[in-house]
Each structure stands twice: as C-alpha cells, then as structure tokens.
Amino acid sequence: MENLTPGKISLAFRKAVSAGLMRNEDSALIFYDLSFLGERLAQLKSCFPASALHGLAIKACPLAGIMKLSRELGCGVEAASLGEVMLALHLGFSPGMVVYDSPVKTAEELEFALAEGVHLNLDNFSELERVKEQIAKWRNGEIKSTVGIRINPQIGEGSISESSVAGEYSKFGVPLNYKRQELIHAFLENDFLTGMHLHVGSQGCSLEMLTEGCGKLYDLMLEINSLTMVKKGFEQISTFDIGGGLPVSYFRDKRPALMEDYADALKQRAPLLFVNKFPQPASSAPQAGLRLITEFGRWTYTNAGWTVSRVEYVKQDPGVNTAMIHVGADLFVRECLNPRDWLHEYTLLDRAGNIKEGVSENPWNLAGPLCFSGDILAKGVPLPEVQEGDNIVIHDTGGYTFSMWSRYNSRFAPRIIGYYNDGETFVLLKEREGMADILKFWT
C-alpha cells in the first residue's frame, strides 16, 4: 500500500473544513484514515495463517475508537503495562486476545493477568519463578493463561540504537547465547511454559535481521520440542510470538520491505509457523499445535495518520525562515530530541486546504510552541512561501506520536478525527482537551 498522498490529505482536510470539524480553537488536529487502516489490517491477516493472533502494539496507538475498530476486524493487542491490559479488557478484547509484555511486572500485576487469563510473556527467570509460585499457591496448578518467555536472539542492533533490543546486551528478555542451557532447562522443568517471544526492534531493523531473530528462536523451539517429545511425550512449545518491528516508510519515494516479503522470508526460514493450527482451549494438559502471534505497531498505524497545524507566526532570519506551529516536542518527542533518526514529509496547505506549490528561497524551520530551544520539529525544510494562517501537514503520524504525548507546558492535546473514503464520513476519536483535563492531570 502506498503512503497517503498530499492530494488525498488535502481532499480530506477540505471536507473536514466543510463539515465544520475544524473550529477556531483547533490550532492543530490529528487525522486517521480508517479506510486505509482497515486495508492494512486485511493485508496483515492475509500474510499469515488464519489462526495467527495479531496483537497490535497498543503503545503505538491506544485510541479507544481505533482499538475497538481493530477488535471488530478480528485483531488482538499487545499490552506493555497493566494499564494497557486493563484498557484492552475494558474495550471488550477477550483475555485470550491480549498479550501482556511488560519487562517490569509486579507480583500483583502477574496475579491479575493470571486471574484474567491473558497471554503472558515473561521477561526473565525471576519472573518465571514468581509465576510458578503463584500457579502452585493460588491456582492449584490450574492456569487459564498461556505463558511464554521473552528471549533476546542477540543478532545485533539496527540503525536506531534506542529502539533496537536484540543486541549483545538488552534490558529485555533472556539472552540466548549466554543462557541457552538455562532456557532449555526452564522449559523442561515447567510444563506451563509453552511459549517463546522475541522482538528485535522497532524501525531501523532490516527484514534479514527480523527473520534471523525469529530463525534463531525457531531452531531452539525445534530442539526443545523434540526433547520434550522424548521426555514427556508431547511438543511443549505451542505459541511462537515474533514481536513487531517491520519498518515503515516515512517518505513516499522510499520503499521499505513489504509485510508480504517478511512473511515469505519467515515461511522459508521457519515453515512450521505457517501451519494453520487453531489453538485448543486452555487446560492443564499441554496441547499440540503451534499458535503464531505478531505484535506490529508502527507498520499498522503510522501511515494511516497525519497531523495538521495552523501556522501562527512566520519569522525571517538570514538564510532561514521559521514557521511557528502548534505542535512540537509534546506530540513529536522523538523527532525533536533525535532528529537524525526520525523525519517526516511535510505539505503546505493554504487556509482553505489547497496545496501550495513551489519552493521559497530560504528553507524553513518548523518550531513548536514549547518553552525550550530544542522544540523544533524539523530544520531546513524546503517549502513554498509560508504565510500566517497556512496549514502545515506532517505526514505519517499515526504511530508513536499521540501515544507519547508530553504534558510539559500543559498544552491542550488536539482533537483527533477519523474518516472513511477520503472524508465521505467522519468520526470523532477524541475531543480536544480543555481546562478540566489539565486540572485533572495536575491534581
């Protein structure tokens, strides 16, 4: 699927204006093309066996309306905290569709997850011991949840070190190269441990890295399953969670690997993951068959969303101009703090939403409204002549933007609007914040 074009965005913007959705106070707005998102989810499902659980990473986009839509389209969720688990259950996800992955779960959080029956990915051996005790003490050996363990395949870092988690060292998971025997032992000792989980990184990791990370765990899974077959009479590992991490393109002329390419590569390297086996109902006896879990966040949401901000002021300095806009490091934490790795495309629209053409003599800095000098979304952007009242579109903002909203300076978070069919219909996903929201946060 192609990224949304300036033409399509301008059309939806103009329709939103006509529909009266952009009030004067909406100095910035976030939009989601829900038709595009629906197509992405259909594409994802078509690449993997029908029995796969697609646990979309909530951290990328926790908007309730979007989570409900993905649930209706048959997807599950990956939760990075108890709050995300609770949000998912509240929005009607059945526990079996929720994958709980935090690296720092308390005993109470584990107990809650086990009582609800969500799928748990444990991060380390100490957590495994806790769960083992809880199952013995509180649950009489019975368990509704399926339980896996996160393993770091140690295949190296991608191009963005802050979002790479499969290097020699990572704060996540059990390092495969150092702890291989302990891992095998943990599976042999604990019948309830029936899953393996990995996540290589988010953006910046090549398809080869993602595939090899899965491949290394797949080999271990085959080894453990043949061992348990001999010793226990069944193949113990029945859930294989490949995590997320497929990169997206933030630029229309750069083509990243497709989900189809990733699935094909994985099928070659780890064919059993593509055998369509439906999970058996949970019981104390381990079940045959393999369930594949995916956890894509960025790939799912990023290209479906865009943000628009009114240009409040224009400043001219020697060699560079500045457009003062209404979103900065509050919505774009990574872009402002690590501009080398996180870049977007921009389109300039006039007041009415028509695309402005051309390139002005001097490039443009896009400066946010926050009270520190690093609050600059982008520097030296070639744009047409910008005027007060114009609208800057920031493309591909559907993932890891609003979910990382910062309260610094207490700005009102913008209204968020979803639309179908290029703006034929709109749905309000979240209202613009007001005084009550600020007061609630700070009280």
Ligand X SMILES: Cc1ncc(COP(=O)(O)O)c(C=O)c1O
Residues at the interface with ligand X (CB under 6 A): 57, 60, 78, 101, 199, 202-203, 243-245, 295-299
* Closest residue to bound ligand X by CB: 244
| CB nearer to ligand X: pick between 54 and 415 | 54
Report in angstroms how near the CB of residue 71 gets to ligand X at its nearest.
Answer: 18
Name the minimum Å distance from CB 160 to ligand X: 10
Residue among 215 and 423 whose Cβ is closer to ligand X = 215
**Minimum gap (Å) between residue 233 Cβ and ligand X:** 32
Report, in Å, the least distance between residue 13 CB and ligand X.
27
Q: Which is nearer to ligand X, 154 or 287 (CB)?
A: 154
Of 127 and 295, CB closest to ligand X:
295
Rounded least distance, CB 137 to ligand X, Å: 28
Q: Least distance in Å: CB of 101 to ligand X? A: 5
Min. distance of Cβ 240 from ligand X in angstroms?
Answer: 14
Of 199 and 415, the one with the shorter C-beta distance to ligand X is 199
Q: What are phi and psi of 20, to 5 degrees?
A: 75, 25
Judged by beta carbon, residue 96 or residue 245, the one nearer ligand X is: 245
Least distance to ligand X, CB of residue 217, Å? 14
Between 203 and 211, CB nearer to ligand X: 203
Structure tokens at 124: 């380390």
Residue number with CB closer to ligand X (202 or 322): 202
